[in-house]
Structure 1
Amino acid sequence: MAGRRLSREQRRLQLLDTAMAIVRAEGADALTLARVAEEAGVTKPVAYEHFETRTGLLVALYRRIDDQQTEAATTALRARVRSLEETVRILAEAYIDCVLHIGKEFGAVTAALSSIAGTEELLREGRERYAGLYLRAVERFAPLPESEGKALMLGVVGAAEALAREATAGRLSRAQAVRAAETIMLGAVNAAGHAVAEHGATSR
């Protein structure tokens, strides 16, 4: 591919694929624009033109992973779900499976971004986007106040992320991670639903 004349978008995808391969093989510390250019068979200015800085490259990798995870959950939820339990199972499986498919790059990229000043907002937006997706998915069966529901789902996303990291590292099996994520989400939603119902009953 490096020897062919690629469109700008094709070249960007090639560079991102190359960067992901470097992270997979050697970790995020080995990632530089010069290294990506060398491995992709292009000149350094080409890589700098697309990403400008190493941070810009890491942000592009994170957004690519984030898009893959969002698409996995959205695609899974297009199936006809009939209960809260089924919805929670689909969300847990989609998240864990997507991270396992991506591999250790997920943790390496997010950890690298976490150590860079000014990227906190990007990571926060990603977590909030997931929380919103999860809340919309479960509220069909368990209506929750938006403010409380969003906070709850932020906690669920954090738990799912931690479980996915453990599964990627081989410290948990895929089945264990999915089951734990499912249990946490279902328990949290049910507990919040009961609290809302009790509050409504006492306020009448």
Structure 2
Amino acid sequence: MAGRRLSREKRRLQLLDTAMAIVRSEGADALTLARVAEEAGVTKPVAYEHFETRAGLLAALYRRVDDQQTEAATTALRARARSLEETVRILAEAYIDCVLHIGKEFGAVTAALSSIAGTEELLREGRERYAGLYLRAVERFASLPASEGMTLMLGVVGAAEALAREATAGRLSRAEAVRATERIMLGAVNAAGYAAAERETTPR
């Protein structure tokens, strides 16, 4: 009866919290809508009403983490970014720290989604959204070629993902992962800006 008093949004959040707890303790393979309903103390139709399928539940978990990463970076940038170097440091710290806070669960959710047909677009959209955030942030302090900026940031996001996985697995420290992400991003931005300047000044 207590469960019925929750609003729809609070019920959804409860189900997502329950799902993430299952992934944390048992891995993504153990995640089913029936299991989430049982652990949350609701009937199976309630879980199906919110997510419809296991893929829908995994997608909701992915979007939730993606939103958390974006919000953490946006908030930090708004408060502290006053130079390209500061911006790059903030973005690197926000990404690595968010993944470390979530732990191995995000990697497990992403891997599970990758194995389901039709979810490639969701994962691509997530990477592009974060790359767009990176691009808008660095363009305040550096001029990047319009044709290359987004591609460059997608590469940076891929590197950040790989470094975050290494840190989560304990093969890199938090400081090492942040520092490497900073250097990759700053190096990529500076190199692209230098190449663009060279093209503009080279006689045709």
TM-score, normalised relative to structure 2: 0.97
Q: Distance in 1 between matches of 2:48 and 2:34?
A: 8
**Number of aligned residue pairs:** 204
Q: Distance in 1 between matches of 2:88 and 2:173?
A: 19
Instruction: Please state how far the C-alpha of 1:81 moved relative to its aligned partner.
Output: 2.2
Deviation track 1:95-115 (CA, whole Å, cap 9, x = no partner) reads: 000111111111001111011
Range with bigger deviation, 50-59 or 76-85: 76-85
> What secondary structure, in the 3-state scheme, does the structure 2 residue paired with 1:182 have?
helix
C-alpha contact (below 8 Å) 1:144/1:193 kept by paired residues: yes
Segments of 5+ residues of structure 2 without an aligned counterpart are none
Instruction: Please state how far the C-alpha of 1:2 moved relative to its aligned partner.
Output: 5.6
Deviation track 1:55-101 (CA, whole Å, cap 9, x = no partner) reads: 00000000001100000110110024221111100000000001111
Tell me the percent identity: 91
> What secondary structure, in the 3-state scheme, does the structure 2 residue paired with 1:111 have?
helix
1:107–1:203 CA distance, 2 compared to 1 (3 A): farther
Instruction: Please state how far the C-alpha of 1:36 moved relative to its aligned partner.
Output: 0.3
1:71 matches 2:54: no
> What secondary structure, in the 3-state scheme, does the structure 2 residue paired with 1:147 have?
coil
C-alpha contact (below 8 Å) 1:2/1:42 kept by paired residues: no
TM-score, normalised relative to structure 1: 0.97
1:65–1:203 CA distance, 2 compared to 1 (3 A): farther
For residues 170-189 of structure 1, the aligned pairs below 5 Å read: 170-189=170-189
Q: Distance in 1 between matches of 2:173 and 2:121?
A: 31
* Residue in 2 that maps onto 1:53: 53
Instruction: Please state how far the C-alpha of 1:203 moved relative to its aligned partner.
Output: 4.2
